[in-house]
C-alpha cells in the first residue's frame, strides 16, 4: 500500500457540525487520531476566486464548500475509518443540501490529497452504496450516494469566531445527527 497523506477536507453541510462530530466524536472513538482540524472553505475548482469571504461563500455563487480540514495523526490507521464515520453523521444522498441548509456550499464532498486517499474514499463510497442497495442503511433521504470525491485545492480558513463554534456555543445550530452508529 502506498503512503496516505495526513490531511483531508470534508464537506458535510454546515462546518460547525462537521467539526464537532470529527474533532469530538471521531476522536473519542479513536483517541489521538485527530492531530488538528480547522473549519473553512474549499472549492472543487482550482481556478475559483481566491480568499472568498464567509458572506460570498454563503451566497452560493463562489462554488466553495464549507469544510473541515482535518489532519490525522496516523492516516494509515485512521483515514478509512474517518471516511466511514463521515458517512454516518450526514446525508450523502442529498445534492447540495443538509437538512434545511441548501446550496452548493453545503455539498457532500471529500477533498482528497493523493491517489491513495481517492482510492480509499471511492471504495468506501461504493461500499456505502452497496449497503443502501441491500437496505442495510435506511436513514438517508434518497437511494443514491451523491458525495463528490475530488482533488483538494487551496483551503481558506474561516474567521476565528467560527472555529470550535459549537464548543463555544453548545446550544448553537447543528443539523448533523447519526444515521447509523456502526458500519454494517
Q: What is the CATH number of the domain that holds 159?
A: 3.30.1060.10
Print the domain residue range for 114: 7-168
**Is the residue at 175 inside a domain?**
no
User: Cα dist. 63→2, 35, 71, 124 in Å?
Assistant: 31, 28, 23, 25
- For residue 50, tell me if it sits in a domain: yes
71 located within any domain: yes
Residue 183 lies in a domain: no
C-alpha distances in Å from residue 134, one per residue of 47, 92, 129, 137, 146: 39, 17, 9, 8, 17
Q: What is the pTM of this model?
A: 0.96
> What gap in Å lies between CA 143 and CA 133, rounded to an integer?
7
The DSSP string of 32-68 is T-EEEEEEEEE-S-TTSPSS--HHHHHHT-S--EEEE
**Residues labelled catalytic:** 14
C-alpha cell at 48: 475559483
pLDDT in tens, the chain (184 residues): 468 999 999 999 999 999 999 999 999 999 999 999 999 999 999 999 999 999 999 988 899 999 999 999 999 999 999 999 999 999 999 999 998 899 999 999 999 999 999 999 999 999 999 999 999 999 999 999 999 999 999 999 999 999 999 999 999 999 899 999 999 9
Question: Is 142 among the domain residues?
Answer: yes
Does some domain include residue 153? yes
Tally of domains within the chain: 1
Cα–Cα dist 162/136, whole Å:
36
Residue 35 located in a structural domain: yes
Is the residue at 180 inside a domain?
A: no
Amino acid at each position: 500500500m502506498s503512503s496516505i497523506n495526513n490531511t483531508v477536507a470534508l464537506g458535510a453541510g454546515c462546518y460547525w457540525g462537521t467539526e464537532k462530530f470529527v474533532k469530538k466524536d471521531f476522536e473519542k472513538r479513536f483517541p489521538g487520531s485527530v492531530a488538528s482540524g480547522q473549519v473553512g472553505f474549499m472549492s472543487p475548482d482550482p481556478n475559483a476566486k481566491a480568499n472568498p469571504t464567509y458572506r460570498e461563500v454563503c451566497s452560493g455563487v463562489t462554488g466553495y464548500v464549507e469544510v473541515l480540514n482535518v489532519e490525522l495523526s496516523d492516516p494509515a490507521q485512521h483515514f478509512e475509518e474517518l471516511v466511514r464515520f463521515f458517512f454516518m453523521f450526514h446525508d450523502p444522498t442529498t445534492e447540495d443540501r443538509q437538512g434545511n441548509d441548501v446550496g452548493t456550499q453545503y455539498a457532500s464532498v471529500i477533498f482528497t490529497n493523493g491517489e491513495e486517499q481517492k482510492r480509499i474514499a471511492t471504495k468506501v463510497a461504493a461500499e456505502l452504496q452497496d449497503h443502501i442497495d441491500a437496505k442495510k442503511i435506511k436513514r438517508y433521504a434518497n437511494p443514491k450516494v451523491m458525495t463528490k470525491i475530488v482533488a483538494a485545492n487551496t483551503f481558506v480558513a474561516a474567521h476565528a469566531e467560527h472555529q470550535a463554534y459549537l464548543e463555544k456555543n453548545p446550544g448553537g445550530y447543528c443539523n448533523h445527527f447519526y444515521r447509523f452508529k456502526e458500519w454494517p
